[in-house]
Amino acid sequence: MNQGKIVAIVVVVIAIAIGLYSSTFIVPQAESAIVLRFGNPQAVIEQPGLKFKVPIADQVLTFDRRVRNFEAPIAELPTRDQKYIVVSAFVRYRIKDSLTFYRVGRTYANAESQIQSVLLATLRSVIGNVPLTDTLTPKRADIMRQVKEELTRQAAEPYGIEIVDVRFKRVDLPVQNSEAVFNSMRTQRAQEAAGIRAEGAREAREKRAEADKERVVLVADARRQAEILRGQGDAEAIGIYNAAFGKDAAFFDFYRSLQAMQEGLGGDTTTYVGPPTGDFFRYFGVESGKPATE
């Protein structure tokens, strides 16, 4: 075989290899492909593997079907009660219909630009219809659900994509409003504390009044019982005295006279001035004005 034939064979093999290479392509597992023939879509391939195309005439575009993250710029939005909040959100989406995505969006930048536009408009509309407190409580999940539904309707379906999730990275107050909100919260807490203290003072007065009433009732009952017992004791004592002194009237008269003298002449400085006459001195040997020695 001469050298010319060898060169011709090599050229043919190279041409065949180039032709085979240019007529095949591989679709990865996580991607889909669109075959364009002179710019017109011919087929959408979603199954991975080795595929064939017409060389030169066909062009293959691949799209990643995995979930992508898109972070929206920070926006300052008003709430229903005219309080502004700073919101930073992100969207997770994936290509659902490659052909629609190619025809409408063509690139990720165009699709994300549409998502951003609809997202900001939706956030402004939804947050503008709720009070500030809803954005700082578990009710925020309902806000994100509404945003996701609106994104799906306006940005996802027309572009052939699926909105997987919408989340808030940050929900905060603007710097100029933080101090005012803090003062408002402090005033509200002070009012709540004053109300609690007033309620506690009222309950304390009620309990104190109830305790005082019970004390008065208990003391009055105790005094009544004491008076009854004292009266019973005095009655028993008088009965005992009467029984004892009734046995000897003269001794009883003498004993009562001594008690009267003790009470009437008590003390170390008591002085009696007058004649020792009268019934009071009958036991001192003086009777009817006569000396006791008579």
All residues at 6 or more sequence positions from 140 whose CB lies less than 8 Å from its CB, including other chains: 134, 168, 171
SS3 164: strand
| CA–CA distance, 105 with 108 (Å, rounded to integer) | 7
Closest Cα partner for 169 from 146, 140, 133? 140
What are the percentages of helix, strand and coil residues in the chain, rounded to 5? 55, 20, 20
Per-residue pLDDT at 163: 86
CB-CB contact of 33 with 60 (8 Å): yes
> Which residues does 257 contact at the CB level (< 8 Å), separation at least 6?
280, 282, 283
Residues 6+ apart with CB under 8 A from 59: 35, 36, 37, 39
Going by C-beta distance under 8 Å and a sequence separation of 6 or more, which residues neighbour residue 146? 122, 126
pTM of the predicted model, to two decimals? 0.50
CATH 3.40.50.1000 fits 68-173, yes or no: no
Number of H helices, E strands in the chain: 7, 9
pLDDT tens digits, 98-127: 888 888 877 888 888 888 888 888 888 888
Of 35-44, 96-105, 154-163, 200-209, give the range with the top mean pLDDT: 200-209
Task: Write the CA distances from 107 to 8, 100, 159, 208, integer angstroms.
Answer: 44, 11, 10, 79
Range(s) of the chain covered by CATH 3.30.479.30? 68-173
User: By percentage, how much of the chain surpasses pLDDT 90?
Assistant: 1
The predicted model gives 218-235 an average pLDDT of: 89
| Residue 158 pLDDT grade (very low, low, confident, very high; cuts 50, 70, 90) | confident
| 248: confidence class by pLDDT, cuts 50, 70, 90 | confident
